[in-house]
Amino acid sequence: MLETINRYILPQVSSTFAADVDALFTFINVTSVIILLGITVAIFYFSIKYRRKSEDDVTPVIRFNTMLEVTWITIPLILVLIVFAWGFRGYIDMRTPPGNAYEVYVTANSFFWQFTYPNGVQTTDELYVPAGRPVKLIMQSRDVIHSFFVPDFRIKQDVLPGRYTTLWFETLTSGEHVIFCTEYCGTGHSAMDGMVYALEPDEFNAWLNEQKELSERELPLAELGRNLYTSQGCAGCHSLDGSVVIGPTFQGLYGAERQFTDGTSRVADEEYLRESIKYPGRVINVGFNNIMPSYEGQLSDDQITAIIEFIKELE
Amino acid sequence: MAAASKDLKIREFPVEENPTEHYLNAGKGLKSWLFTVDHKRIGLMYLASIILFFFVGGMLALALRIELWEPARTFMDADTYNRVFTLHGAIMVFLFIIPSIPAALGNFFLPMMLGAKDVAFPRLNLLSFWIYSIGALFTLYSIAYGGVDTGWTFYTPYSTSTGTAVISMTLGVFIMGFSSILTGINFIVTIHKMRAPGQTWGKLPLFLWSLYATSIIQVLATPNLAITFLLLILESTLGVGIFDPALGGDPVLYQHFFWFYSHPAVYIMIVPAFGIISEVISTFSKKTIFGYWLIALSSLAIAFIGFLVWGHHMFVSGQSELSTVIFSFLTFFVGIPTGIKILNWIATMYKGSIDLKTPMIYALMFLFLFSIGGFTGIMLGALSVNVHLHDTYYVVAHFHYVMMGGTVFAFLAGIHYWWPKMTGKMYNELWAKIASVILFIGFNVTFLPQFVMGSQGMPRRYYSYIEQFQTLHQTSTVGSWILGVGFIIVGIYLAISLFSKNNRASSNPWGARALEWMTTSPPAHHNFNHTPVVLHNPYDFHKPISEFRLGIDGSDGHHSSEDVSTPKEVGDKV
Give the total number of structural domains in chain A. 3
Residue A56 belongs to a domain: no
Q: Domain boundary at A215, A233, A253, which?
A: A215
Question: Considering only alpha carbons, which residue of chain B is nearest residue A53?
Answer: B353
Residues A209 and A227 in one domain: no
Cis amide linkage into residue B157, ω under 30° from 0: yes
Nearest to A59 among B155, B346, B352 (CB): B352
Give chain B's length. Answer: 574
Contacting A residues, span 232-251, partner chain B, CB-CB under 8 Å: 246
Contact A311, A250 (CB under 8 A): yes
A153-203 residue pLDDT tens: 999 999 999 899 999 999 999 999 999 999 999 999 999 999 999 999 999
Name the residue among A298, A119, A311 with its Cα closest to residue A205: A119
Residues A209 and A236 in one domain: no
Q: Where are the beta strands (DSSP E) in A182-232?
A: 194-199
Single-letter residue type at B204? L
Q: Which helix (H) or strand (E) holds B30?
A: helix B30-34
Report the C-alpha gap between A185 and B278 in whole angstroms. 42
pTM of the shown model: 0.92
- Taking the Cβ of residue A300 and every Cβ of chain B, the question of whether any pair is shorter than 8 Å is answered with no
Residues A114 and A196 in one domain: yes
The alpha carbon torsion through B278, B282, B285, B287 (nearest 10 deg) reads 150
**Cross-chain residue pair A184–B151, CB shorter than 8 Å:** yes
A98-130 residue pLDDT tens: 999 999 999 999 899 999 999 889 999 999 999
Residue A43 has φ and ψ, to the nearest 5°, of -60, -50
Single-letter residue type at A139? M
Name the residue among B112, B105, B67 with its Cα closest to residue B85: B67
* Average model confidence (pLDDT) across chain B: 92
Report the C-alpha gap between A75 and A50 in whole angstroms. 27
Residue A57 belongs to a domain: no
**Cross-chain residue pair A151–B456, CB shorter than 8 Å:** yes
Residues of chain A with Cβ-Cβ distance to B342 below 8 Å are 39
Residue A178 belongs to a domain: yes
Residue A126 belongs to a domain: yes
DSSP state of B103: I
Q: What is the ipTM of this complex?
A: 0.93
Domain hosting residue A262, numbered range: 218-313
**Cross-chain residue pair B459–A39, CB shorter than 8 Å:** no
User: Cα angle at B156 between B81 and B67, to 5 degrees?
Assistant: 10
Distance of CA A179 to the CA centre of its chain: 5
pLDDT > 70 in chain B, percent: 95
Residue A136 has φ and ψ, to the nearest 5°, of -115, 130
> What value does the mean pLDDT take over residues B194-206?
96
Residue A51 belongs to a domain: no
Band (pLDDT 50/70/90 cuts) for residue B7 is: low
Residue B228 has φ and ψ, to the nearest 5°, of -60, -45
Report the C-alpha gap between B408 and B429 in whole angstroms. 19
Cα-atom radius of gyration of chain A, to the nearest Å?
Answer: 28
Q: Domain boundary at A153, A187, A215, which?
A: A215
Architecture in CATH of B36-573? Up-down Bundle (1.20)
**Cross-chain residue pair A189–B368, CB shorter than 8 Å:** no
Report the C-alpha gap between A191 and A193 in whole angstroms. 6
> What value does the mean pLDDT take over residues B211-227?
95
Contacting A residues, span 84-113, partner chain B, CB-CB under 8 Å: 84, 86-95
Cis amide linkage into residue A111, ω under 30° from 0: yes
Residues A252 and A157 in one domain: no
Q: With b meaning 16 or more CB within 10 Å and e meaning fewer, what string describes B258-267?
A: bbbbbbbbbb
Q: Which helix (H) or strand (E) holds B190?
A: helix B166-193
Name the residue among A192, A203, A56 with its Cα closest to residue B459: A192
Contact A61, B542 (CB under 8 A): yes
Which residues 6+ apart lie within 8 Å of B499 measured at CB?
none
Residue A58 belongs to a domain: no
Q: How many CB atoms lie within 10 A of CB A193?
A: 21
List residues bridging with A285 in a β-sheet: A260
Residue A162 belongs to a domain: yes
Contacting B residues, span 360-399, partner chain A, CB-CB under 8 Å: 364, 367-368, 371-372, 375-376, 378-379, 381-388, 390-392
> What value does the mean pLDDT take over residues B115-124?
96
Residue A53 belongs to a domain: no
Higher pLDDT, B450 or A245: B450
- Taking the Cβ of residue B326 and every Cβ of chain A, the question of whether any pair is shorter than 8 Å is answered with no
Helices (H), chain A: 2-9, 18-49, 66-94, 201-216, 221-231, 270-278, 301-313
Predicted confidence (pLDDT) at residue B1 exceeds the cutoff of 50: no
B523-571 residue pLDDT tens: 999 999 899 999 999 999 999 999 999 999 875 545 554 455 554 444 4
B107, exposed or middle or buried, with CB in 10 Å at 0-12, 13-18, 19+?
A: buried
Q: What is the CATH number of the domain that holds A77?
A: 1.10.287
Residues A119 and A88 in one domain: no
Residues A243 and A275 in one domain: yes
B247, exposed or middle or buried, with CB in 10 Å at 0-12, 13-18, 19+?
A: middle
- Taking the Cβ of residue B448 and every Cβ of chain A, the question of whether any pair is shorter than 8 Å is answered with no
- Taking the Cβ of residue A41 and every Cβ of chain B, the question of whether any pair is shorter than 8 Å is answered with no
Residues of chain A with Cβ-Cβ distance to B293 below 8 Å are 64
Residue B432 has φ and ψ, to the nearest 5°, of -65, -40
DSSP state of A68: H
Domain locations in chain B as residue ranges: 36-573
Give the three-class secondary structure for A153.
helix
